[in-house]
């Protein structure tokens, strides 16, 4: 069909979107990206299935026009299955306000852009993302050609050049203990810096790990370091069952108090969900200016969300990389992860820019469901549409995961000589 450097995309779509696919094809071709779609590009007398199969096999990327009909289409599902078989990157435009169901397996960790308002500035972002991906493919193609290989070969594990190291432990218990040790060691090593606690399920594992190792300290394991949290539900009291601050207090601070090893009240600057005597955003900003964070652990969602930044919502990487404490409106895609008892669908967050300002960034991926997004972070294009990929911008980031997840994500470049969690933590803070 076309050589790799000719920039060819296969447009997957439901037949009800014929006018739309023609418009998208024209836009791409105006930008020197050849578009292939049926039935336009199927020659007379050519077998339909064979033509589509060959087009996907030889294209450089697949673009899906996602809608309810596409989600239910067996033909579209087959096309995405072929894209997966031939390891083609998949980009998708959401043209209707619906969520993937039948196609969720193929779309969980792929790039997503909303085109609900049918504005071509979204197509311009698609062009930019495609061109970035083509450039990456061209580099890989040239490297493989230099080695006189007939075909480009995907390495089973690719080095994360954006991360200082990937540490895979036998269990998530040990991975969590490594994170706990990093927090305690850095809190004592950098008392003039703050530490930012995570929230969510991974946070629970880290808090339990902290309580398991805290007896090795005579007093507060956080030393005198100020302590912040990274998110809170907007509009809830700290005692509310859905409050993330309540979760930290219940799972960590109160048990430390019972052990007589809790931080002082002056150290605690956990985000508030309500505006009373002070503005919680301004309060967080003030602490962060005075005490820049030494460590922050962030958890990935299976689709690449972090700190309430919804996949597919953002198009400007520079804009969200500069985000400090702010209120994020949770979109339709993320509401399924929200506790239905929450009185609000908005989240107060320290912001992605703050996370990236931490001297040491720990990226948590304990669950097998996160293997796909972890692989996407290694091998895909950095894009604001998938906020987790932006973590590549951090110069001192470490991924803490399990051997099972690392294997599923096809990551082979591991820090494998650390005997236990504490040794691994000491290695991290001395890099």
Q: Is the dihedral of CA 84, 100, 10, 123 positive or negative?
A: negative
CA angle 383, 306, 402 (to 5 degrees): 100
Residue 155 belongs to some domain of the structure: no
Q: In 10 A of CB 292, how many CB atoms?
A: 15
Give the per-residue pLDDT at 83.
87
Summarised one tens digit per residue, pLDDT across range 349-371 is 999 999 999 999 999 999 998 99
Nearest to 413 by CA among 197, 228, 160, 95: 160
Counting the structural domains of the chain, the total is 2
Identify whether residues 392 and 266 lie together within a single domain: yes
| Structural domain boundaries enclosing 260 | 165-429
Distance CA 40, CA 205 (A): 54
Identify whether residues 89 and 170 lie together within a single domain: no
Identify whether residues 132 and 187 lie together within a single domain: no
CATH code assigned at 294: 3.40.50.1360
Residue 151 belongs to some domain of the structure: no
Predicted confidence pLDDT, tens digits, the chain (431 residues) = 443 346 789 999 998 898 999 999 999 988 889 999 999 998 877 778 788 989 999 999 999 999 999 988 888 988 988 888 888 889 989 888 888 887 877 776 566 788 776 677 788 888 888 887 777 665 554 444 333 334 333 333 344 445 678 999 999 999 999 999 999 999 999 989 999 999 978 899 999 999 999 999 999 999 999 999 999 988 888 888 888 999 999 999 999 999 999 999 999 999 998 887 678 899 999 999 999 999 999 998 888 889 988 887 777 787 788 889 999 877 655 555 555 666 567 889 999 999 999 999 999 999 998 998 998 888 878 888 889 989 987 889 999 999 999 999 988 888 866 669 999 999 999 88
Distance CA 384, CA 378 (A): 15
| Tokens coding 139 | 């580099």
Task: Please report the DSSP string for 363-409 in residue order.
Answer: EEE-SGGGHHHHHHHHHS---TTSGGGGGGG-TTEEEEEEHHHHHHT
Identify whether residues 169 and 52 lie together within a single domain: no
Residue 156 belongs to some domain of the structure: no
Residue 211 belongs to some domain of the structure: yes
From 116, 146, 176, give the residue that closes a domain: 146
pTM: predicted TM-score of the whole model, two decimal places: 0.64
Identify whether residues 350 and 259 lie together within a single domain: yes
Identify whether residues 73 and 203 lie together within a single domain: no
Identify whether residues 16 and 87 lie together within a single domain: yes
Residue 141 belongs to some domain of the structure: yes
Identify whether residues 174 and 86 lie together within a single domain: no
Distance CA 110, CA 122 (A): 16
Residue 159 belongs to some domain of the structure: no
Identify whether residues 131 and 279 lie together within a single domain: no
CATH code assigned at 21: 3.40.50.10140
Identify whether residues 50 and 80 lie together within a single domain: yes
Identify whether residues 177 and 308 lie together within a single domain: yes
Distance CA 412, CA 159 (A): 8
Identify whether residues 125 and 266 lie together within a single domain: no
Residues 6+ apart with CB under 8 A from 367: 172, 201, 302, 405
Residue 154 belongs to some domain of the structure: no
From 98, 113, 146, give the residue that closes a domain: 146
């Amino acid at each position: 069909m076309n050589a790799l450097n000719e920039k060819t995309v296969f447009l997957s779509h439901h037949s009800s979107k014929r006018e739309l696919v023609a418009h998208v094809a024209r836009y791409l071709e105006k930008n020197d990206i050849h578009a292939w779609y049926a039935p336009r590009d199927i020659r007379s007398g050519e077998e339909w299935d064979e033509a589509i199969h060959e087009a996907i096999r030889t294209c450089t990327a697949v673009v899906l026009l996602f809608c309810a009909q596409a989600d239910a289409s067996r033909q579209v599902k087959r096309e995405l299955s072929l894209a997966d078989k031939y390891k083609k990157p998949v980009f998708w435009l959401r043209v209707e306000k619906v969520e993937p169901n039948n196609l969720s397996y193929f779309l969980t960790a792929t790039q997503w852009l909303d085109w609900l308002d049918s504005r071509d500035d979204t197509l311009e972002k698609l062009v930019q993302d495609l061109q970035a991906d083509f450039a990456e493919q061209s580099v890989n193609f040239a490297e493989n050609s230099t080695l006189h290989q007939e075909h480009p070969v995907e390495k089973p594990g690719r080095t994360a050049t954006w991360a200082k190291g990937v540490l895979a432990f036998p269990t998530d218990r040990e991975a969590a203990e490594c994170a706990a040790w990093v927090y305690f060691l850095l809190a004592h090593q950098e008392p003039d810096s703050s530490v930012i606690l995570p929230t969510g399920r991974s946070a629970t594992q880290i808090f339990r790990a902290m309580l398991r190792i805290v007896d090795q300290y005579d007093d507060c394991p956080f030393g005198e370091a100020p302590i912040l949290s990274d998110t809170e539900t907007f509009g809830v009291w700290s005692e509310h069952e859905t409050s993330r601050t309540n979760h930290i207090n219940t799972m960590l601070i109160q048990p430390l108090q019972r052990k007589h090893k809790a931080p002082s009240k002056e150290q605690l600057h956990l985000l508030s969900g309500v505006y009373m005597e002070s503005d919680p955003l301004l309060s967080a900003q003030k602490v962060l200016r005075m005490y820049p964070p030494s460590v922050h652990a962030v958890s990935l969602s299976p689709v690449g969300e972090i700190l309430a930044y919804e996949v597919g919502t953002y198009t400007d990487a520079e804009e969200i990389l500069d985000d400090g404490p702010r209120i994020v409106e949770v979109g339709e895609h993320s509401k399924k992860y929200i506790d239905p008892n929450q009185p609000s669908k908005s989240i107060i967050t320290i912001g992605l820019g703050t996370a990236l300002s931490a001297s040491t960034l720990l990226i948590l991926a304990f669950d097998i469901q996160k293997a796909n997004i972890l692989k996407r972070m290694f091998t895909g294009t950095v894009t604001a549409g998938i906020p987790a990929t932006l973590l590549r911008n951090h110069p001192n980031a470490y991924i803490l995961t399990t051997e099972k997840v690392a294997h599923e994500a096809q990551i082979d470049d591991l820090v494998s000589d650390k005997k236990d969690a504490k040794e691994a933590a000491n290695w991290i803070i001395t890099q």
